[in-house]
Structure 1
Amino acid sequence: MDCVFCAIAERRLPAHCLYEDDDFIVLLDIFPMRPAHVLIVSRRHAPFLRDLPPALAERLLPLAERVAAALRQAGYGGQGINLLINDGPDANQHVPHLHLHLIPRRPGDLSALLWRLLTRFLPLGRKRIEARLQDDADRLRLILAKEN
């Protein structure tokens, strides 16, 4: 079975990629829980956190800090961002490839977050979501590119 994140890393599948280096790609989640829901994905296939080589694991949180700063600069998650790793299928990991979610939050968004959790894989409003993903990707790419 082909891994969707490996295919994205190898450019065999499209994605709203915001940043990439030799070890990680940063992209927008196509089923976002909140606006500007970002994933940091290891280029190396690692189903569980324990499978990520220590040198890469050491780079993951500093990269997450950089992406979180870009999100805040773009106006997302100014007062909070959830960082989440679903480590294994029993932890609700849908793609068996390590990825860290950054989910920007705002005051009072819990009901919308819960609704999105229940409906995130339904095709409702897909065109609107795709348009928002493109806008978010453009804004965040510019910010991340300036930091290099």
Structure 2
Amino acid sequence: MTIPECPMCRSVAADQELERVQVWEDRLWRLTVSLASEVPGFAYLEPKRHIRFITDLDGAEAATFGAVMARCTRALKEATDTDIVYVYIFGDGVPHLHVHLAPHRAGDALNDQMIRGEIVEEKMPSGMTRIMSREFPALPVEQLRALAERIRSRLAR
């Protein structure tokens, strides 16, 4: 199903308006690269069918999502000679699922913070670094454990 007023559903016809160019597609997905970006290779992966949220993926789209993400991010990483491709999915704005794929290198325009506020880093015994926000402290462990159990229960169904 496509929605005529949805720019993503208009596909190639909307690419000029959205300042992007299609670089790949299959029967379910398409990948476009932005022509108006601060980051080389900034791209959008979107399903051809009108889907609003990632939770709406089903059938063949859900079954191929991981492989398609891996293929697209690998191509972006190699073409831009970067070490990592950030993946963002936002739920606001355009009412059609589109995954932002952002090749990143140190010193570029991207922000590598997931959380707002003054960042505090804590070295953990494992050698990993925990990144926290001073303004938004961690939630109580009991609350997070209870949530983890609710998620576990839903996935066990």
TM over 0.5, yes or no?
yes
TM-score (norm 1): 0.62
Structure-1 residue corresponding to 2:154: none
Structure-2 residue corresponding to 1:119: none
Unaligned 5+ segments in structure 2 are 112-157
Kept in 2, the 8 Å contact 1:4–1:13? The answer is yes
Q: Distance in 2 between matches of 1:76 and 1:5?
A: 28
* Mapped pair 1:82 → 2:83: no
* Mapped pair 1:98 → 2:97: yes
Kept in 1, the 8 Å contact 2:41–2:80? The answer is no
Structure-2 residue corresponding to 1:2: 5
Unaligned 5+ segments in structure 1 are 115-148
Poorly superposed stretches of 4+, deviation over 3 Å: none
Kept in 2, the 8 Å contact 1:34–1:103? The answer is yes
Kept in 2, the 8 Å contact 1:36–1:76? The answer is no
The structure having more radius of gyration, on CA atoms, is 2
Kept in 2, the 8 Å contact 1:33–1:103? The answer is no
Instruction: Point out which structure has higher relative CO (alpha carbons under 8 A, 6+ apart).
Output: 1
Which protein is richer in strand relative to its size? 2
What are the superposed Cα offsets for residues 40-96 of structure 1, whole Å, 9 maximum, x if unpaired?
A: 11001011112221431221221111112212221342x11101111x22xxxx211
Q: Distance in 2 between matches of 1:107 and 1:65?
A: 22
Q: Distance in 2 between matches of 1:98 and 1:25?
A: 12
Give 1:24's match in structure 2, choosing from 29, 32, 38.
29
- Name the % identity: 30
Per-residue deviation, 1:31: 4.3
RMSD, matched Cα:
1.9
Structure-1 residue corresponding to 2:69: 64
Structure-1 residue corresponding to 2:14: 13
Q: Distance in 2 between matches of 1:71 and 1:12?
A: 23
Aligned residues: 104
Structure-2 residue corresponding to 1:50: 55
Which protein is richer in helix relative to its size? 1
